[in-house]
């Protein structure tokens, strides 16, 4: 016996309206955060570019390019979140959540290309071996690096808090983009200070360091998005919490199978529970209904839950499962 989201029409309508309202609120929150990110990044990029040119700092110019790429990345995030928030339709009966992962993958590719370009530029300057021709950065570049670190770290926390609130992988990727920018600015700061102390080659070395941070962030974002697109199972902590929730429902005597998969930012759950085989179909249905409702109430990211009821075989009681785990 399987249990999906078939309840009385009024309850289904209310749940659908609540879900649509929640998704609209999430999209509104994401768009607000992304708009702030674009405005701040544009201003910060122009400031760092100007400071890099005037103060003769290659590391600061590289950092400005990185910040400018953030603008393009945030636009991709906005498009991805907007499309992924669309309602399910005939062609996409399970929704559009995975398109947010596509946006995150595009973001990762752009980030990787940006980092590779910055790194290659720094390596070329180092290989040339003519350190004396590298101009010593001025105080303006030093001030710009410090301001950039503070602003980008604030943007990281501002975006990350919103991403955690609405469970958005694309927005979380954008947050880490800000953090990588803050870290790269630290690299630029080190390079500028070193260059002013009489080691101008440290400025292009800082560009290479910036490259390493950017490439690491790009790979992490890419892998996270890919995992969510290939139906990766949820973490053990989520599975354990699901088991605890299921066993807490009256009538559940065991769990034959519990499978989870990530679908974009959402979770799909398929569970086979065991109940007294002597019960009527209606009684078994009621148990499945309780399990279904409890999972969706406790786990807000669960979009779809399928519950199948098997007759109890006396093999998978909660006590026995706990004993096996020990």
In this predicted structure, the answer to whether residue 289 has a pLDDT above a threshold of 80 is yes
Query: Residue 267 and residue 123: Cα distance in Å, rounded?
Result: 44
CATH number of 2-229: 1.20.1510.10
pLDDT per residue over 113-167, tens digit each? Answer: 877 887 887 788 778 765 555 566 677 878 888 898 899 899 999 998 988 887 7
SS3 of 95, please?
coil
Q: What pLDDT score does 134 carry? A: 57
Q: What pLDDT score does 130 carry? A: 58
Q: Where in the chain is the domain with CATH 3.30.70.1350?
A: 236-325
pLDDT per residue over 38-84, tens digit each? Answer: 999 899 889 888 888 888 777 678 778 777 777 877 887 788 777 77
Mean pLDDT highest for which of 177-191, 239-253, 294-308? Answer: 239-253
Q: What pLDDT score does 20 carry? A: 57
Mean pLDDT highest for which of 118-122, 222-226, 262-266, 317-321? Answer: 222-226
pLDDT per residue over 293-311, tens digit each? Answer: 999 888 878 888 899 999 9
Query: Residue 114 and residue 101: Cα distance in Å, rounded?
Result: 20
Q: Where in the chain is the domain with CATH 1.20.1510.10?
A: 2-229
Q: Which residues pair with 270 in a beta bridge?
A: 259, 306
Q: Of 125, 141, 130, which is closest to residue 53 (Cα–Cα)?
A: 141
Q: What pLDDT score does 4 carry? A: 43
User: Does the pTM of the predicted model rise above 0.75?
Assistant: no
In this predicted structure, the answer to whether residue 105 has a pLDDT above a threshold of 70 is yes
Q: What is the mean pLDDT of residues 34-41?
A: 89
CATH number of 236-325: 3.30.70.1350
More confident site: 258 or 189: 258
Q: Give every strand in the sheet of 254-263, ordered side by side.
A: 2-3, 302-311, 266-275, 254-263
Q: What pLDDT score does 177 carry? A: 76
């Amino acid at each position: 016996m399987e249990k999906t989201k078939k309840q009385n029409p009024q309850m289904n309508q209310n749940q659908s309206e609540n879900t649509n309202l929640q998704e609209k609120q999430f999209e509104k929150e994401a768009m607000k955060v992304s708009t702030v990110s674009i405005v701040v990044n544009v201003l910060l990029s122009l400031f760092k570019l100007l400071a890099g040119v005037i103060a003769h700092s290659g590391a600061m110019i590289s950092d400005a390019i990185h910040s400018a790429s953030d603008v393009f990345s945030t636009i991709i995030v906005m498009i991805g979140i907007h499309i992924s928030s669309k309602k399910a339709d005939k062609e996409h009966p399970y929704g559009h959540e995975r398109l947010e992962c596509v946006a995150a993958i595009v973001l990762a590719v752009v980030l990787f290309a940006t980092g590779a370009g910055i790194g290659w530029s720094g390596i070329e300057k180092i290989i040339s071996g003519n350190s004396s021709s590298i101009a010593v950065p001025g105080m303006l570049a030093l001030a710009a690096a410090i301001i950039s670190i503070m602003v980008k770290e604030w943007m990281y926390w501002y975006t990350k808090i919103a991403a955690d609130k609405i469970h958005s992988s694309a927005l979380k990727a954008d947050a880490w983009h800000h953090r990588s920018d803050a870290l790269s600015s630290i690299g630029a700061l080190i390079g500028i200070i070193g260059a002013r102390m009489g080691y101008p080659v440290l400025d292009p070395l800082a560009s290479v360091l910036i490259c390493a941070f950017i490439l690491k962030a790009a790979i992490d974002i890419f892998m996270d998005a890919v995992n969510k697109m290939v139906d990766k199972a949820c973490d053990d902590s989520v599975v354990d919490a699901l088991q605890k929730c299921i066993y807490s429902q009256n009538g559940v005597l065991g769990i034959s199978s519990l499978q989870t998969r990530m679908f974009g930012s959402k979770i799909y759950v398929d569970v086979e529970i065991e109940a007294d085989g002597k019960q009527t179909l209606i009684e078994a249905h009621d148990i499945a209904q309780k399990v279904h409702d409890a999972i969706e109430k406790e786990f807000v990211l669960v979009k779809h839950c399928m519950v199948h009821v098997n007759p109890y075989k006396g093999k998978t009681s909660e006590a026995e499962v706990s004993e096996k785990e020990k």
